[in-house]
Amino acid sequence: MPAAKLNIVPFVSVDSMMKLVLAIGVERFLTELATYIEEDFRRWELFDKTARVASHSHDGVIELMPTSDGHLYGFKYVNGHPKNTREGLQTVTAFGVLADVGSGYPMLLTEMTILTALRTAATSALVAKYLAPKGARTMTIIGNGAQSEFQAIAFKAITGIDRLRLYDIDPSASRRCAKNLAGMGFDITICASGQEAVEGAQVITTVTADKQYATILTDNMVGSGVHINAVGGDCPGKTELHRDILLRSDIFVEFPPQTRIEGEIQQLDGDHPVTELWQVMTGKAAGRTSDKQITLFDSVGFATEDFSALRYVRDQLQATGLYEELDLLADPDEPRDLFGMLLRADKKQGGAKGAA
């Protein structure tokens, strides 16, 4: 832990997070983060697991995502408000805490808006390593908002994807995405429709923001042998895929009790078979088994992935020093004398005023 004083908690601001990512390098950051995520999926059975605690409103959702491996405890506060972009605000914002289970003391407080985008992309590419067709090089990204560049770079770093087909109902979003990715080793095609975008792609990523039962992919758009990375459907009442695609696919999920409420499979019967990712990563279940199989990652994001991201960031702080020290915890000389600490502070302030 970087800070020596018990009352001091390392805080990673947005500025520090950007400096940390750039100091490490985006591709390396995503690759190393994916390793942490995979490590935690492989020890899945050690974690406390619960579907995220969500507070829904007409405008969006505010969620808490907690988990613990018995030694560390982590949680993320995150919102999802699709209307925010119309007001010049982010759709998703987040912060997170990592704490020591033994003492209950927080060990890290960090921004997680940027970090969530990174961990979502790292998880997508990690899963594709197990599920995408062998040798896949072309990916469609439908929905070219805040996640799209992160997804592209993660897939390039982890799976070798280097050809992108972009589509968004707002063409300027696709142009911005292509501009941001220029010079990063991609062959990029901006497409005029979702149908055009999926042509020739081995991986299809859907990552739209609107909170509605949408049909971003229709059944006729999806041929055999592809991997679908369905990222945008992540809360009740928000989906992207036609139901018939789900019925043709082998579906892989993070935590079924959460995904059945929030993911694409909210469209299906509650007993529809799915495979848990941790089982694939530990060899207890098969991933892709044939060239003609349609695999679908019904991605909603789970607390262990945020836990992994918090662990990764914590482990980078000692070497980089990219954090601030927050005087966050009361630390009286006598642990039971919290009020006395307040009185002593009052005396110090009085003394300072008297000297003035």
pLDDT, average across residues 330-343: 89
Exposed e or buried b per residue across 259-286, where buried means at least 16 C-beta atoms within 10 angstroms of its C-beta:
bbbbbbbbbbeeeeebbbbbebbeeeee
Check if 8-114+305-348 and 132-300 are the same fold: no
pLDDT digit string, tens, across residues 153-176: 999 999 999 999 999 999 999 999
- Whole-angstrom Cα distance, residue 24 to residue 19? 9
Could you list the active site residues?
234
pTM as predicted? 0.93
Average confidence score pLDDT of the chain: 94
Options 2.160.10.10, 3.40.50.720, 3.40.30.10, 1.10.3720.10; which CATH number does 132-300 get? Answer: 3.40.50.720
Lowest model confidence (mean pLDDT) among 138-147, 222-231, 336-345: 336-345
What pLDDT, on the 0 to 100 scale, is given for residue 335? 87
Residue 193 confidence (pLDDT) above 50? yes
Query: What is the longest distance spanned by two Cα atoms in the chain?
Result: 82
User: What is the topology classification, in CATH, of domain 8-114+305-348?
Assistant: ornithine cyclodeaminase, domain 1 (3.30.1780)
CB atoms within 10 A of CB 137: 16
Give the rounded percent of residues in the chain with a pLDDT score beyond 70. 97
- Whole-angstrom Cα distance, residue 322 to residue 17? 8
CB atoms within 10 A of CB 14: 13
What pLDDT, on the 0 to 100 scale, is given for residue 353? 56
Lowest model confidence (mean pLDDT) among 96-105, 109-118, 229-238, 246-255: 229-238
pLDDT digit string, tens, across residues 88-144: 998 889 999 999 999 999 999 999 999 999 999 999 999 999 999 999 999 999 999
What pLDDT, on the 0 to 100 scale, is given for residue 212? 77
pLDDT digit string, tens, across residues 33-54: 999 999 999 999 999 999 999 9
Domain-wise residue ranges, the chain: 8-114+305-348, 132-300
